[in-house]
Chains A and B, each alone.
Chain A
């Protein structure tokens, strides 16, 4: 099974500043058939289901603000929020979908400093 490890576990960033969350997989997520990485990012606010932000490592889901961006390839990935807004306070998860069982990182809690 593919193990996903996020860092840091929690993060406090000032409003308007950049937030960076890392995700590392135990095996490469590069999908040879389309040369894309099978990695998604989700945002979860208290009492709500996760919301898809990014898929194929860097493709923003429709309606997601462009301050959210994803990067990386192979085994190392990053979610960046370019200018933190108050509504971005949440827990963020990465998910690999290269192979079943699909697996998630343990989550990164993002707060305002």
Chain B
């Protein structure tokens, strides 16, 4: 059974760079798209972007100028960097596997990582 384990800093100051990594255990890595999704406290879900094992990415245009998603396929991990953070970036950040398997970019998500609360505060 695939499990996603997230890690990264939880407290940032404005203008710093958010950095999170998601490790994938117990299943195949190649052939899937891997996504980052965030949820501000008490609010809904926002898709940030996705990457596949070969490094092909798609980003949400609302964040594209500040987001980089990268992959390290041999290590079964992918990472998120979000630059120039502000208080509006305070959220729980989730990593998730996109389904179905394959090259198409029409993905729903399962499973999800446990979530990382990232707080931006001076």
On whether the beta carbons of A105 and B106 are closer than 8 Å, the reply is no
When the two chains form the complex, which single residue of A1, A49, A105 contacts B112, counting CB atoms closer than 8 Å?
A: A49
Checking A31, A50, A98, A104 against B46 with a beta-carbon cut-off of 8 angstroms, the contacting residue is: A104
**Cβ A98 vs Cβ B45 within 8 A:** no
Across the two chains, which residue of chain B brings its CB closest to A1?
Answer: B61
Interface contacts (Cβ under 8 Å), in number, total 58
Q: Is B105 positioned at the interface, with any CB of A under 8 Å from its CB?
A: yes
Whether A49 pairs with B108 at a CB distance below 8 angstroms is no
> What interface size band does chain B fall in?
20 to 34
Q: Which residue of A has the minimal Cβ distance to B100?
A: A55
Residues in B neighbouring A93, C-beta threshold 8 A: 44-45
**What interface size band does chain A fall in?**
20 to 34
**Is the contact region of chain A dominated by helix, strand, or loop, or is it mixed?**
loop
Are B109 and A52 closer than 8 Å at their CB atoms? Answer: yes
Q: Which residues of B contact A51 (CB under 8 A)?
A: 110, 112
A31-B106, A49-B94, A52-B110 provided; 20 other pairs, C-beta below 8 A?
A40-B108, A49-B111, A49-B113, A51-B110, A52-B109, A52-B111, A61-B110, A95-B108, A95-B109, A97-B107, A97-B108, A100-B47, A100-B50, A100-B60, A104-B44, A104-B45, A104-B46, A105-B44, A107-B44, A107-B45
User: What is A's interface to B at a CB cutoff of 8 Å?
Assistant: 1, 31, 38, 40, 42, 49-52, 55, 61, 93, 95, 97-107
